Structure 1
Amino acid sequence: MPLDTRRSEPWLERLTAHEARQRLEHERSSRLTQLQAIDEADESTSQPLLSAQKDTVHRVLKEIEAAFTRIQDGTFGICRGCATAIPVERLEILPYTRYCVPCQRDAT
């Protein structure tokens, strides 16, 4: 959903810039904790598995940083595929997403 700093239409829920930043900060913090846990993992854990996990976490961290940039430039919550608003429910679950569900299916 597009960002809105006011809540003038209660039936039309929007994610404010502040709420989006909070969700992204939480996601970033969670991913950094994951990285720390991977780094502290036991030597008995498969190294290829750890490497793949680290790669995935680093990819998500890059997506989170890109979402912060989209907040700044005003494109956060707009689907990169079809240019429509991404539903707030999707942004609550995956705040760094760039696509609505139909476009995400097409992108993968």
Structure 2
Amino acid sequence: MNIDTGPSIDTLRQTLQAQLRQHSQDLAVLTAAGTDPGSTGEDPQTVAERTVAARHAIEEIAAALSRITDGAYGHCERCTNPIPGARLEILPHARFCVPCQARAR
């Protein structure tokens, strides 16, 4: 990643760690809600869908943190080109550059 055009790796790591904490807290609340339907005021299907989304977010964020440790962070998993800093600032767990993400859909 070109740090000159976006946030530093340390800033992105801190953002990812904060997001990981938040999603983990959300998952704990949702898991408890799954054992006590109605405790969140949401229907069970919504709680189930939010639980799946929180788990997915945790997986994506953990993978991004792993890529930082491995030195692969900030490069597209498909074309290996650098992911622009602006994209990582918006979506710090991004695995693909925009063109490759668009092709994946």
| Structure number having the greater helix percentage | 2
Contiguous gaps of at least 5 residues in structure 1: 5-11
Match of 1:27 among 6, 15, 19: 19
State the identity %.
32
Counterparts of 1:8-87 in structure 2, within 5 Å, are 12-39=4-31, 43=38, 44-87=41-84
- Where in structure 2 are there 5+ consecutive unaligned residues? none
The amino acid of 1:26's aligned partner reads A
With normalisation by structure 2, the TM-score equals 0.81
- Please give the alpha-carbon distance, in whole angstroms, between the structure 1 residues aligned to 2:42 and 2:70: 42
Q: Which has the higher contact order (CA 8 A, sep 6+)?
A: 2
Partner residue, 1:93: 90
**C-alpha RMSD over aligned residues:** 2.0
Question: If the length of structure 1 is used for normalisation, what is the TM-score?
Answer: 0.79
Q: Distance in 2 between matches of 1:38 and 1:73?
A: 32
